[in-house]
Structure 1
Amino acid sequence: MTENKTLYELAKVLRSKNSGPFELTMDVIFDNRDYYNKVKDSGIITKELVCKLYNIEEKDISTLVFFDPAMAFKITIRRPIDSGSIGETDVYGAQQHAPLMGVLIPM
């Protein structure tokens, strides 16, 4: 039987932040090379997954990149509502990483 772990369990840092008033960036950083490689090699972290998790279209993703030296990956997406605009509920973008937390990675 394959054990699964969530990104929340595997990552040292899982955060989101503003990337300007029109974009959000999610950073997932590992302190364990094996965990990082398992996530990267799983092929689970894709633009298709990001679209599903955030209910966006692929054109709304400006970056999805793994960076081996830092054992990290970064996702940058267009904000659904500009930072500080009426109806916007997370001015700093600090709560937008939550959909990534439950992504299951086979171990």
Structure 2
Amino acid sequence: MAVSQHSETDYKQGEATRNQTDMNRSGFQDAIDRLGEDLATWPLPDRQAALHLLAREPDLRACLDDASRLRAALLDQAPIRAPAGLADRIVKAALGSKPAGATGPRRA
């Protein structure tokens, strides 16, 4: 059996090269959903693949812009606070007991 002369570094470089051409539009949009809109924070193989795809299809930059605007809009919202006692009511309901002051199921 012949021993390969390729090093682990060669293998990793080959993986990175292959990954650069493997990303498609759908994979790019999925990666934005998973990794965010800041390519600088993506793992290197994903970032390289995304940059390669963006070079071929610059219109995909709009996906990054949309994700960035969405994040900004979400961050601009006031935090939603749970009503006082909600956690206690949930725990009591999960344990099968009624919260204090409850007489039965509420009907709409």
Fold match by TM threshold 0.5: no
Scaled by the length of structure 1, the TM-score of the pair is 0.21
Structure with more contact order per residue of length (Cα contacts < 8 Å, sep ≥ 6)? 1
Larger proportion of strand: 1
Larger proportion of helix: 2
The structure with the larger Rg is 2
